[in-house]
Each structure stands twice: as structure tokens, then as C-alpha cells.
Amino acid sequence: MANLLKNKEDQEVRIKKPEWLKVKIPSGKEYLNVKEIVEERNLHTICSSGKCPNQSECWSAGTATFMILGNTCTRSCQFCNVATGKGEEVDIFEPAKIAESVRLMGLKHVVLTSVDRDDLADGGANHWKKTVELVRKKNPGVTLETLIPDFKGEWQNLDPILEVKPEVVSHNIETVERITKQVRIQAKYWRSMEVLKRLKEGGIQKTKSGIMVGLGETKEEVIQTMKDLVAQGVDVLTIGQYLQPSKKHLPVLEWVKPEVFAEYKKIGEELGFYHVESGPLVRSSYHAEKHI
């Protein structure tokens, strides 16, 4: 953990964001329309819960990443802004509310994610399945991306996902192997790799993963992570800058320059990824419609 922590003075210097990380203030008719739909139906989005820097751009374009199974995660990853605690009671009407919201927004491509629900026997897998089914039933022709958890390595819980076969299924590796224990306390690097491998072997058309940089990893470690992902058959990769959500989260150790992200994109494409989205503000669902 020592390499992830710096003294207070160093953190105060590093917390100043460079120019390339500045974002627009949310505004516009489409932004307000998405905001109204989300709030009226008491829906959760990773856009808000995760303090995504692209919320303004995506909501202004009429898109949002819906987060199912509540707004409280049973894990406590050191990079994530989503609330941690006891899992909420599962809203059985949530799949229908998501499906109707997709219809109202006129979405052609939908991204779904969820909190980790280690408190549930199936990890929430059957709720995932029902949500996908209802979104498709209410919105014929829609395509879906699902950003799923690792289900604690209880592989039978992948079956409901494999049954409905979303067009893209994503599971984020988040960081390099060496610092996984510090960044993702309850997760395991190779367990996540196994999730991605099983998804591809189970017939998922496109699999996807994402990593954050700026947490103390080396360039060589990022490239090795890319190679590990390619070995699992992963098609799409996203690479973005880690941003510290609050003082209680891990500090940013490096502001990675745009030219380095461009280099990662080139390397990833040469390694064999179908598509690489790499940039300071890139997040898992950023420009997700391109990944289909």
C-alpha cells in the first residue's frame, strides 16, 4: 500500500487537475430531460453515483448508464464513490421502470451496470436477466451493454447473463495485478480475468473491460494487463484517468498525459483489441454505442 500513499503536502500538489481534465457544467434541454426521467422514476445512474466527469456530455446527448440493484454497494473499493453498506431491498419493479425510461428517452443502445450485491444468493444475476428481458420487450431492436460484477467467482451466477446474451458484456479489471489488493479490496485480478474468459466461451458476441491509470502503476504493467485481457478474448478496452472522489479515497499519484493515452490506444490496437477507447476522461460506458 505504501506506493499508493504520499504525504499530505504531495497530495495537495497533485490534486490540482491539469487543463485537459476540465469539463463543462451540465446544461441544455436533453440534459434536463434525462435528469427529469431519472429523478421521477427514482432510478440510479453510475453517472451521478460515480461522479462521472462525462455526465454533462452524455446526458446532453440523451444517454445515461442505469445502475440496477440499488445505490448501495456491499463492497468498499478504494477508488469508487458509490455508497457502501448493507444491500438495499431489491426493487422488483425496477426492470419495468428501466424499460419504460429507455422508451421515453428513445435510446437505441442501453448501458446497464450495478452495485455489487454479495448479500444476495445469486448476486443479483436473475434481476439482471429480468431487466435485460424487459428492456428488449418494451424496446424492440434495442442493443445492450451490461457491466457486471464478478459474482464472487460463483460461476453458476453467470448463467442468467449468458442466457439473455447482451450484445456487449463488460467486466472491469480496473487496475494492474500488483496493486489490485489495494484498489479493489474484495476482488481478485485473475478471478476477473476468469469472468471475461467464461463470458467469451459462453457465447457473448463482444466482451469488454476497463482500467484506470494514475494509481502508481507502470507503463509496462499496463501493457501486461492489456496482454492478459487479450488472452481472455476481450474485444473492447477502455483506459481512463483515475480521479479521487473524496479525501477518504486513494490519492491520484500521476496525471497521465493525453499523449500517453494515445500511445496506449495504439499499443492496444496492435495487440488485437477490436476497439480501444483511451483518454483522460474515458470511463467504462463512454461512447459505448461505438463498441457495438
For position 33, what pLDDT does the model report? 64
For position 31, what pLDDT does the model report? 57
For position 187, what pLDDT does the model report? 93
For position 63, what pLDDT does the model report? 58
For position 288, what pLDDT does the model report? 58
- Tell me the average confidence (pLDDT) per consecutive run of 10 residues in the chain, 292 residues long: 46 62 60 62 52 52 74 86 86 92 83 92 97 96 93 98 97 97 94 98 96 97 98 97 90 96 98 96 70 64
**Could you give the CA distance from residue 221 to residue 244 in angstroms, rounded to a whole number?**
21
In 3D, which of 72, 44, 157, 63 has the Cα closest to residue 111? 63
CB-side neighbour CA atoms (13 Å) of 50? 24
Domains of the chain plus CATH, in order, are 22-291 (3.20.20.70)
For position 87, what pLDDT does the model report? 85
SS3 of residue 146 by DSSP = strand
Task: Write down the pTM of the prediction.
Answer: 0.83
For position 78, what pLDDT does the model report? 84
In 3D, which of 101, 49, 99 has the Cα closest to residue 70? 49
**Could you give the CA distance from residue 232 to residue 74 in angstroms, rounded to a whole number?**
27
